[in-house]
């Protein structure tokens, strides 16, 4: 790559970031880091009607949680991120003063024109066309019959503007041209300009539309590659024409595939998440629970999102962020939609949970415990328990179910197991076991196992008569890891008490 890589993620702050948006940000980030470039966050807030309070901060928090922070972007009171470099500001609302000049350049060059058509008159045209089975397009076809500066005298245009009439500035799409478009993922495309409409670029309220603002900003911010969702592919023809009209160098484009529903057709929506019970947002937003709050690790989210539309060309599925940066390429992004698989996201989380150092899991485990009324400061003890139960867990929130008996003695014993395991002579055996355990000072798993097994073989008991009832009285159920690991973690006193109590209750 010869030119300096500068890419931008350009969300509109109209609500929380959908995971599709996070993936767009991630691919931009990976591409930037791979090429030692710059990852920019630009807030596209020109449409004040759709502005949602808190959405911008949410976007920043989500990127930071995923560990994909921007290098340049809006300054925020809540973030340590800078940065108003010479390319800023990074909120389009703060760049408002810039855009009019560029709309005027297009007017001067004859590449754009004023239009005064009211919404009502445009609606009437649309309806009229529909009735005739046609589609109304504002372009070469009919622009001279409409209310604009191409169809009226310059004095009238000047008068209307001077009198404060609402207007828009439209792009003048040249007829009969074949536009050649290039997309890194989709290859070459050709479009006949006759099918394009004259898009609105600027409005008399002083605000540019997305199209003008994003092209001007991409140019001024020296964006080298525009990496964005497939839904913007239909805008590419206009954007290319705008670059040509200004005489600017065009960045390279890459339009990412849609993320599809887990089942059926169509793109993944918030409803799918609600129906099937998985998050669609990185962080919680109002009543929608996010990946973070659901207990996912950011490494898992980043890993599954990276593979949702990109593949490394090998069977490898597990990637750290560093590996992704090293491997990522836009050429390996697929054209077709990528099906979202909620089970796979869990699989990733399970993997990253297993990878995580047990000591680092303690704080989250403590939260789970305190939700269940258990407070313990003994971190070494918690670390031991984590080591015993973790392999069965996908989330730290699974830990309570897997470990409750370490903290609370069983109040009841699982009925079926009890029937099967508690036989006539079990109390006697448990009594004998009590005396054996009482003599053991070193209550390590290995030592208790050795001593108990020795006693079993001396007495010629069968394992089946001792071990399952022991598990039942300690755990309350037949679940759990190696029983000697459990009693060792519980300690001698608690182990003896549980056995004694069971003998009392069950007789
Ligand atoms: N503001 C647009 C959005 O909300 C950005 C499109 C682009 O990246 O050009 O997705």
| C-alpha dist (Å) from residue 502 to 93, 252, 443, 463, 476 | 71, 73, 21, 19, 10
Alpha carbon distance 350, 135 (integer Å): 52
Say if ligand 1 is within 6 A of residue 445 CB. Answer: no
- HEC string of 229-265? EHHHHHHHHHHHHHHHHHCCCCCEEEEECCEECCCCC
pLDDT of 84 above 70: no
| Domain end point (choices 406, 423, 443) | 406
pLDDT at 158: 97
Model pLDDT for residues 124-175, shown as the tens digit of each residue: 999 999 999 999 999 998 999 999 999 999 999 999 999 999 999 999 999 9
Q: What is the pTM of this model?
A: 0.93
Based on the fold, state whether residues 238 and 100 are members of the same structural domain: yes
Q: Which of 10, 25, 43, 221 to mutate to test the pocket of ligand 1 (most atoms within 8 A of CB)?
A: 10
Model pLDDT for residues 86-99, shown as the tens digit of each residue: 899 999 999 999 99
Angle at 358 between CA 357 and CA 364, to 5 degrees: 110
Map residue 192 onto helix, strand or coil: strand
Based on the fold, state whether residues 117 and 217 are members of the same structural domain: yes
Average pLDDT over residues 187-198: 96
pLDDT confidence band for 83 (50 / 70 / 90): low
Based on the fold, state whether residues 264 and 244 are members of the same structural domain: no
State which ligand 1 atom lies nearest to the alpha carbon of 24.
Answer: 8
Answer whether 210's CB lies under 8 Å from 217's CB.
Answer: no
Which protein residue's CA is at the shortest distance from atom 5 of ligand 1?
A: 10
CATH code, domain with 448: 1.10.10.350
Alpha carbon distance 390, 152 (integer Å): 76
Say if ligand 1 is within 6 A of residue 246 CB. Answer: no
If one counts every other C-beta atom within 10 angstroms of the C-beta of residue 78, the result is: 9
| Domain end point (choices 256, 275, 304) | 256
> Which DSSP letter does residue 307 get?
T
Q: Which helix (H) or strand (E) holds 189?
A: strand 187-192
Q: What is the dihedral of CA 38, 43, 44, 47, to 10 degrees?
A: 180
Alpha carbon distance 300, 346 (integer Å): 8
| CB crowding 194-227: b at 16 or more within 10 Å, else e | eebbbbbbbbeeebbbbbbbbbbbbbebebbbbb
Q: Which of 26, 212, 229 to mutate to test the pocket of ligand 1 (most atoms within 8 A of CB)?
A: 229
Q: What's the CA-to-centroid distance between 85 and ligand 1, angstroms? A: 22
Nearest partner of 346 among 294, 306, 389, 307, judged by Cα: 294
Token pair in block for residue 397: 């929130």
Q: Which helix (H) or strand (E) holds 201?
A: strand 200-203
pLDDT of 123 above 70: yes
Based on the fold, state whether residues 233 and 207 are members of the same structural domain: yes
Alpha carbon distance 60, 76 (integer Å): 9
| Domain end point (choices 338, 355, 372) | 355
Say if ligand 1 is within 6 A of residue 469 CB. Answer: no
Q: What's the CA-to-centroid distance between 88 and ligand 1, angstroms? A: 18
Share of the chain above pLDDT 70, in %: 98
Q: Is the dihedral of CA 370, 353, 298, 282 positive or negative?
A: negative
Based on the fold, state whether residues 265 and 316 are members of the same structural domain: yes
pLDDT at 79: 47
Say if ligand 1 is within 6 A of residue 230 CB. Answer: no
Q: What's the CA-to-centroid distance between 335 and ligand 1, angstroms? A: 19
Q: Is residue 88 part of a domain?
A: no
Say if ligand 1 is within 6 A of residue 10 CB. Answer: yes
Say if ligand 1 is within 6 A of residue 361 CB. Answer: no
pLDDT confidence band for 3 (50 / 70 / 90): confident
Alpha carbon distance 476, 405 (integer Å): 8
Based on the fold, state whether residues 377 and 427 are members of the same structural domain: no
Model pLDDT for residues 275-310, shown as the tens digit of each residue: 999 999 999 999 999 999 999 999 999 999 999 999
Window from 52-56, 59-63, 83-87, 89-93 with minimum mean pLDDT: 83-87
Average pLDDT over residues 38-57: 94
Based on the fold, state whether residues 290 and 189 are members of the same structural domain: no
Q: What's the CA-to-centroid distance between 227 and ligand 1, angstroms? A: 10
Say if ligand 1 is within 6 A of residue 228 CB. Answer: yes
Based on the fold, state whether residues 251 and 261 are members of the same structural domain: no
pLDDT of 428 above 50: yes
pLDDT at 78: 44
Q: Is residue 461 part of a domain?
A: yes
pLDDT at 80: 46
Say if ligand 1 is within 6 A of residue 232 CB. Answer: yes
Q: Is residue 366 part of a domain?
A: yes
Q: How many domains does the chain have?
A: 4
Q: What's the CA-to-centroid distance between 7 and ligand 1, angstroms? A: 13
Q: Is residue 89 part of a domain?
A: no
Based on the fold, state whether residues 313 and 432 are members of the same structural domain: no
Q: Which helix (H) or strand (E) holds 369?
A: helix 358-371
Alpha carbon distance 38, 266 (integer Å): 33
Nearest partner of 143 among 113, 111, 179, 167, judged by Cα: 113
In sequence order, what DSSP letters do the residues of 76-136 get, joined into one string?
Answer: -TT-S-----TT---BGGGGHHHHHHHHHHHHHTTSEEEE---HHHHHHHHHHHHHTT---
Q: Between 96-108 and 210-220, two packed helices, what is the crossing angle to 10 degrees?
A: 100
pLDDT of 312 above 70: yes
Q: What's the CA-to-centroid distance between 245 and ligand 1, angstroms? A: 21
Answer whether 407's CB lies under 8 Å from 385's CB.
Answer: no
Based on the fold, state whether residues 108 and 243 are members of the same structural domain: yes
Nearest partner of 282 among 274, 273, 291, judged by Cα: 291
* Residues labelled as active-site residues: 270
CATH code, domain with 323: 3.40.50.620
Q: Is residue 472 part of a domain?
A: yes
Rounded to the nearest 5°, which phi and psi values hold at 2?
-90, -45
Residue with tokens 């109390």, as numbered in its chain = 427
Q: Is residue 90 part of a domain?
A: no
Alpha carbon distance 44, 89 (integer Å): 11
Q: What is the dihedral of CA 136, 138, 140, 142, to 10 degrees?
A: 60
pLDDT of 81 above 80: no
Based on the fold, state whether residues 349 and 399 are members of the same structural domain: no
Q: Is residue 34 part of a domain?
A: yes
Model pLDDT for residues 348-399, shown as the tens digit of each residue: 999 999 999 999 999 999 999 999 999 988 999 999 999 999 999 999 999 9
Q: Is residue 82 part of a domain?
A: no
Q: What's the CA-to-centroid distance between 116 and ligand 1, angstroms? A: 27
Based on the fold, state whether residues 248 and 130 are members of the same structural domain: yes
Residue ranges making up the domain that contains 465:
415-506
Which protein residue's CA is at the shortest distance from atom 2 of ligand 1?
A: 11
pLDDT of 182 above 80: yes
Alpha carbon distance 498, 507 (integer Å): 13
Q: Which of 214, 237, 238, 259 to mutate to test the pocket of ligand 1 (most atoms within 8 A of CB)?
A: 214
């Amino acid at each position: 790559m010869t030119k300096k890589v500068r890419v931008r993620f350009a969300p509109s702050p109209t609500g929380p970031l959908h995971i599709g948006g996070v993936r767009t940000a991630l691919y931009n980030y990976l591409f930037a880091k791979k090429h030692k470039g710059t990852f920019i966050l630009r807030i596209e807030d020109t449409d004040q009607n759709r502005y949602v309070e808190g959405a911008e901060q949410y976007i920043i928090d989500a990127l930071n949680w995923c560990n994909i922070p921007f290098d340049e972007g809006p300054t925020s009171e809540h973030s340590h991120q800078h940065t108003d470099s010479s390319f800023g500001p990074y909120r389009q609302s703060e760049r408002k003063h810039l855009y009019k000049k560029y709309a005027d350049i297009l007017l001067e060059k004859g590449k754009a024109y004023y239009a005064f058509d009211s919404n009502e008159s445009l609606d009437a045209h649309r309806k009229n066309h529909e009735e005739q089975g046609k589609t109304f397009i504002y372009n070469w076809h009919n622009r001279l019959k409409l209310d604009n500066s191409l169809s009226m005298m310059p004095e009238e245009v000047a008068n209307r503007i001077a009198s404060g009439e609402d207007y828009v500035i439209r792009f003048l799409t040249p007829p009969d041209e074949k536009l050649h478009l290039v997309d890194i993922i989709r290859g070459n495309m050709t479009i006949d300009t006759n099918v394009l409409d004259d898009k609105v670029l600027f409005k008399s309220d002083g605000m540019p539309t997305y199209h003008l603002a994003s092209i001007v900003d991409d140019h001024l911010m020296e964006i080298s590659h525009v990496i964005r969702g497939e839904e913007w592919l239909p805008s590419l023809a206009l954007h290319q024409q705008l670059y040509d009209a200004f005489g600017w160098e065009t960045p390279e484009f890459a339009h990412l595939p849609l993320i599809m529903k887990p089942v059926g057709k169509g793109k993944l929506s918030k409803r799918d998440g609600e129906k099937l019970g998985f998050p669609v947002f990185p962080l919680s937003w109002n009543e929608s629970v996010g990946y973070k709050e659901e207990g996912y690790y950011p490494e898992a989210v980043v890993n599954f999102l990276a593979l949702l539309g990109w593949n490394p060309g090998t069977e490898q599925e597990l990637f750290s962020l560093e590996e992704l940066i090293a491997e990522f390429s836009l050429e390996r992004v697929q054209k077709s939609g990528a099906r979202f698989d909620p089970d796979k996201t869990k699989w990733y989380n399970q993997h990253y949970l297993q990878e995580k150092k047990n000591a680092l899991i303690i704080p989250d485990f403590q939260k789970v415990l305190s939700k269940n009324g258990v407070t313990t400061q003994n971190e070494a003890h918690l670390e031991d328990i984590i080591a015993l139960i973790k392999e069965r867990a996908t989330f730290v929130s699974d830990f309570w179910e897997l470990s409750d008996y370490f903290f609370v003695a069983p109040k009841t014993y699982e009925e079926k197991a009890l029937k099967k395991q508690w036989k006539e002579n079990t109390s006697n055996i448990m009594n004998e076991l009590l005396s054996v355990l009482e003599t053991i000072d070193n209550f390590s798993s290995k030592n208790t196992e050795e001593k108990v097994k020795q006693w079993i073989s001396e007495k010629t008991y069968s394992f089946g008569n001792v071990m399952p009832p022991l598990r039942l009285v300690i755990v309350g159920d037949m679940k759990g890891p190696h029983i000697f690991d459990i009693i060792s973690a519980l300690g001698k006193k608690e182990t003896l008490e549980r056995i004694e109590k069971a003998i009392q209750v069950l007789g």
